[in-house]
Structure 1
Amino acid sequence: MRLIDYFRRGMLSAPERTAFVDADGQGAYTYAQVNELAERVAAGLHAAGNAAANVAVYSPNDPKAFCAMIGIFRAGGRWVPINMRNPVHVNAAFLRTTKCSLLFFHPSLNEQVKELREAVPTLQHLVCIGEPMEQGVGIGLDEFMERAADPAPEPEDDPNRVETIFPTGGTTGLSKAAMWTQRTWGSAIKAFWTCLPTDRPAVHLVAAPMTHGAGVVGLMMMAEGATNVVLPSANALGILEAIQRHKATHFYIPPTVLYSMLAHPRVREFDYSSLRAIVLAASPVAPAKFKEAMDVFGPVMCQSFGQAEAPMFLTFLSTRDLLNAPEGSDRWSSCGRPTLGQRVEIMDDDGNLLAPGGRGEIVARGDLVFRGYYENPEATAEVSRFGWHHTGDIGYKDDRGFTYIVDRKKDMIVTGGFNVFSAEVEHVIAGHPCVEDCAVVGVPDQKWGEAVKAVIQLKPSMQATEEEIIQLVKSTLGSVHAPKSVDFVASLPRSPNGKVLKREIRDKFWEGVERRVG
């Protein structure tokens, strides 16, 4: 099925149900209204010769921006997500990589669009989705749609047809472009509803940027006619208030946002009884924080593993998996088991699949694995060695098939000849009651080659010492894993979608050093 078919399924089940609404209850669109607007957007794309083109949406979280996305799918175009929190030069680089020909944009981004217009030669059309529109910066959405005399023809129905070109990064300007096909989307939507069925109409909070996991989950949920409450940002208090106000049932957030919610002094003041699932993804979650969240929000916590090349629900760790874990189990550290139709294994550097307990790179096969990088066959071949998709994550599986991520390959620390997986150390430090979030990196050391360093963001008004952090890790994991030094910072650097920028932290310590390992 095409992605527009999943939307239509939800629309036909409840045409008058609200599809999108903003946090204060304004700007609402029913499914029928979204369908009407999407038809007109698609007709405009067809009239402009961009029906099957690469089309970007550049906007803060906004209900109308979602409607534009549905219009792209209805036309048969390929949605290119552009994060407004990225620097302009980063977005320009991705637009050039994907050869985007049309950009839908929010009027709050007029100045940035002027820069993009100059930096991206392939952009033929700029369409403003709201008011006020600045004269000379593209055309308004109504004018764009009114130029169409006829409806857009139905898009081709082909499982291998590309519907989305997703950025793999977004902080360096060198992001590759992962192609998601009809098959990719269909597998993701089926996995979502297989893992997270609900007994009543779902209300989904779009809390994180709609250009990343929150938007993807929102599109997945429309197949069952879910209402999407579109929050302006992943603000901790805003999310807590929205759960109660809108009786939210589902939402996705990265662990860093969960940590900020748990650290908020008012976290236990709100009614969370409507919740059915809080889905964590984007990076491993610290077990101590995971358990705390289950206590605060109820038996609704779950976790998924995926990436731009093999999206969310490649694996899934359900609430039931956690509640039924054997006594003393390490399952709170797991990202779950492969979902139906996916294979996830552990591979060594020679292409051999490893037995349970063996540590190596996590690899995957299945319909969720992307088609390849847009016009980049060399990079596609590099991540497809031995006939498997290589995730770049190091992990292992237990004898029940649960997968555990211990680090990114590039983040592994080699200290004194021993491998230290930074994620394992971070999970221990995150269990300290005063710690909100942390990053563990390797820094240059004359004796050890690399030394383990912890950089920690404490909860508001909380205090901790270097000595107690070091002792906590030493008593849990041993002296090799214990940080040799600890820095406390007001806030950790983060990417536009909330992930801690470990590379930025690490690079600061390696300036002028030729070798990373002694």
Structure 2
Amino acid sequence: MSPGSKSGALDFEGRSYSRNDLDDLAAGLADELAAEGVRTGDRVALMSSNRPEFVIAVLAIWRLGAAVVLLSPAWKHDEVAHALAVTAPTRAVGDNPVLGALLPMRDLDHPISPRAADAASPDPAADAVLVFSSGTTGLPKAVRHTHASLAFGVRQWIEVLGLTGADRIQIATPPSHILGLLNIVTALEAGAWMRLHRRFDLDTMLGCIQDDRITIEMAVAPIALAIASHPKLETFDLSSLRYIMWGATPVTAAVAEQVTARTGVRWLPAYGASELPVIACNPLDGARLDTVGKAAPGVRVRVVSLDTGAVLAPGETGEIQCRADSVMAGYLPAEATASAFDDGWYRTGDVGHVDDDGWIRLTDRAKEMIKVRGFQVAPAEIEAVLHGHPLVRDCAVFGVPAEDGESVVAAVAVVDTAAVAVVDTAADILTEDELIDLVGARLATYKRPRRVVFVPEIPRLPSGKVLRRVLKERYGRPSDQ
């Protein structure tokens, strides 16, 4: 997409950059890459920590009419090798030796010489970015966004957030994830001030809200959990915040309500995907925690039966499907694209319903639904109950094979307490039976966990999505009950 022409500023570890600074540095880096053979239509891999040079590299690659292939800096050799095999970039830019060992890489730790930037207008139909899907159920696929689809998503994000040049945000989420990239590009386009953090640190984040007078905070589930459990949260002045956006996973109401009760800051739940960055958002006035909101401007939503594929009436539960100009151009490998669409509608894989007034409620992922004696059980519903227990720090629910289909297993991480030794047991302070009974008292009998395993941490992606396949591998022995 076009870099835009708005003024604004980026701060990072004591240094400030104007928009002109970023553009001039991007023009200089683009000259370097062009001299190394990067041409219009090429793909350039980018594997970098959250830093100004990441932003500069994205803008430089776009200036050349090339596409950015975003790689997570947390990936190891085999993961990077898979991503490169799928996308076939010709060059690399970054600060990670794993990438440098696999592809000629321009090291971002080396200085960039700026030059006066001229106008740059990439082809709207050309690929802008390839970002990898979360890979919660298998090897990740590359999601292709054109300059046109990304630009449309940015305009949607500006509108639903009510973002203006007067806003101040900070970004600690990984830039290789669609939400991190979307936040950065949106701030540049709106002319908002932003602070980048090399890595997430809760005290630093809270301190910057206070000192920088941040107006909008972006959060995913791990950040929300960390805020809610901070023992000294009340000592930070968070009064500048208009709201905290909760995205990437459905809101855990008990966690959100705890933060609001302690700080007075409200939440703005939103919903998107790598394939369609902005699907829905709550209204700025009257946001609710029980829904991801209503469809964003330009997004059409329908719900279809999980069994027959028939379009369902308002209030009926099935797979959420969408149409929008911001939807991806397709996947790599290309053969994966066809199954992502149903007669032109993007299949989110999320299960939920839309009521008569357009409010969208998600219950779970279609591939993560647990079938217990013929009943569909949504892990998120059980997790919401478990999160309500004061001694549950985090949790995730998954299914394991059983004679009658599947049985429910809950993995639970308890609060940090000296009285608890977490080695598959927390009996000193919390018991398996107590949690099973808690769910049984709130939900139907068939939704009760058959087993609870106490774990040190719940494995999550940086976006907050639970890696249920990892839990199944570690704790998913078939049930014999």
Same topology, TM > 0.5: yes
Per the alignment, in what secondary structure is the counterpart of residue 401 of structure 1? coil
1:126 aligns with 2:105: yes
1:370 aligns with 2:328: yes
What is the Cα deviation at residue 372 of structure 1? 0.8
1:247 aligns with 2:213: yes
Q: Which residue of 1 aligns with 2:366?
A: 409
Q: Which residue of 1 aligns with 2:67?
A: 78
What is the Cα deviation at residue 152 of structure 1? 8.1
Opposite residue 67 of structure 2, the aligned amino acid is R
Structure 2 Cα separation of the partners of residues 220 and 333 of structure 1: 26
Matches within 5 A, 1:450-469: 450-461=406-417, 463-469=429-435
Contact kept in structure 1, 2:221 and 2:463, CA below 8 Å: no
CA spacing shift, 1:155–1:44, aligned 2, 3 Å: farther
Larger CA deviation: 254-263 vs 194-203: 194-203
RMSD: 2.5
Deviations 1:250-308 (A, max 9, x none): 23221122112211212221011111232111111212222223333434411111111
Opposite residue 26 of structure 1, the aligned amino acid is G
Q: Which residue of 2 aligns with 1:441?
A: 398
Deviations 1:43-83 (A, max 9, x none): 22333331422112211111222111121222222111111
1:113 aligns with 2:112: no
Opposite residue 347 of structure 2, the aligned amino acid is H
CA spacing shift, 1:443–1:351, aligned 2, 3 Å: closer
Structure 2 Cα separation of the partners of residues 126 and 375 of structure 1: 24
Opposite residue 208 of structure 1, the aligned amino acid is T
1:99 aligns with 2:83: no
Structure 1 Cα separation of the partners of residues 435 and 291 of structure 2: 24
Deviations 1:430-467 (A, max 9, x none): 12222221100112334x33211111112222843323
Structure 2 Cα separation of the partners of residues 320 and 275 of structure 1: 14
Structure 2 Cα separation of the partners of residues 418 and 372 of structure 1: 33
Work out the percentage of aligned pairs sharing the same amino acid: 29
Per the alignment, in what secondary structure is the counterpart of residue 446 of structure 2? coil
Contact kept in structure 2, 1:207 and 1:253, CA below 8 Å: no
What is the Cα deviation at residue 151 of structure 1? 7.7
Opposite residue 385 of structure 1, the aligned amino acid is D
What is the Cα deviation at residue 354 of structure 1? 0.7
Q: Which residue of 2 aligns with 1:178?
A: 143
Matches within 5 A, 1:462-477: 463-477=429-443
Deviations 1:213-262 (A, max 9, x none): 12321111211212221112223222212211222122322112211221
Q: Which of residues 4, 8, 11 in structure 2 aligns to 1:21? A: 11
Opposite residue 55 of structure 1, the aligned amino acid is V
Per the alignment, in what secondary structure is the counterpart of residue 447 of structure 2? coil
CA spacing shift, 1:351–1:443, aligned 2, 3 Å: closer
CA spacing shift, 1:66–1:151, aligned 2, 3 Å: closer
Q: Which of residues 455, 460, 467 in structure 2 aligns to 1:501? A: 467
Per the alignment, in what secondary structure is the counterpart of residue 332 of structure 1? coil
Structure 1 Cα separation of the partners of residues 203 and 441 of structure 2: 35
What is the Cα deviation at residue 496 of structure 1? 4.3
Opposite residue 81 of structure 1, the aligned amino acid is L
Q: Which residue of 2 aligns with 1:192?
A: 157
Deviations 1:302-361 (A, max 9, x none): 1111111111x2111235233xxxxxxxx5221111011101111124332111221111
Q: Which residue of 2 aligns with 1:3?
A: 2
Contact kept in structure 1, 2:145 and 2:329, CA below 8 Å: yes
CA spacing shift, 1:3–1:474, aligned 2, 3 Å: farther
Opposite residue 49 of structure 1, the aligned amino acid is G
Contact kept in structure 2, 1:301 and 1:319, CA below 8 Å: no
Opposite residue 21 of structure 1, the aligned amino acid is D
Structure 2 Cα separation of the partners of residues 318 and 488 of structure 1: 38
1:384 aligns with 2:341: yes
What is the Cα deviation at residue 97 of structure 1? 0.9
Opposite residue 54 of structure 2, the aligned amino acid is A
Per the alignment, in what secondary structure is the counterpart of residue 333 of structure 1? coil
Aligned pairs, how many?
468
Q: Which residue of 2 aligns with 1:49?
A: 37
Contact kept in structure 2, 1:443 and 1:509, CA below 8 Å: no
CA spacing shift, 1:347–1:42, aligned 2, 3 Å: same
Structure 2 Cα separation of the partners of residues 88 and 443 of structure 1: 31
Structure 1 Cα separation of the partners of residues 476 and 221 of structure 2: 27
Per the alignment, in what secondary structure is the counterpart of residue 423 of structure 1? helix
Contact kept in structure 1, 2:239 and 2:265, CA below 8 Å: no
In proportion to residue count, which structure has more helix? 1
Larger CA deviation: 494-503 vs 424-433: 494-503
Q: Which residue of 2 aligns with 1:136?
A: none
Opposite residue 183 of structure 1, the aligned amino acid is A
1:38 aligns with 2:26: yes
Contact kept in structure 2, 1:93 and 1:173, CA below 8 Å: no
Structure 1 Cα separation of the partners of residues 308 and 392 of structure 2: 39
Contact kept in structure 2, 1:43 and 1:152, CA below 8 Å: no
Structure 2 Cα separation of the partners of residues 219 and 492 of structure 1: 31
Q: Which residue of 1 aligns with 2:254?
A: 288
Q: Which residue of 1 aligns with 2:423?
A: none
Q: Which residue of 2 aligns with 1:137?
A: none
Structure 1 Cα separation of the partners of residues 88 and 276 of structure 2: 22
Q: Which residue of 2 aligns with 1:135?
A: none
Give me the TM-score of the superposition, normalised by structure 1: 0.84
Structure 1 Cα separation of the partners of residues 91 and 185 of structure 2: 21
Contact kept in structure 1, 2:136 and 2:466, CA below 8 Å: no
Structure 2 Cα separation of the partners of residues 250 and 95 of structure 1: 35
Q: Which residue of 2 aligns with 1:218?
A: 184
Opposite residue 454 of structure 1, the aligned amino acid is A
Give me the TM-score of the superposition, normalised by structure 2: 0.90
Structure 2 Cα separation of the partners of residues 297 and 211 of structure 1: 30
CA spacing shift, 1:265–1:352, aligned 2, 3 Å: same
Structure 1 Cα separation of the partners of residues 449 and 318 of structure 2: 24
Structure 1 Cα separation of the partners of residues 28 and 127 of structure 2: 22
Structure 2 Cα separation of the partners of residues 399 and 293 of structure 1: 31
Q: Which runs of 5+ in 2 are unaligned?
A: 421-428
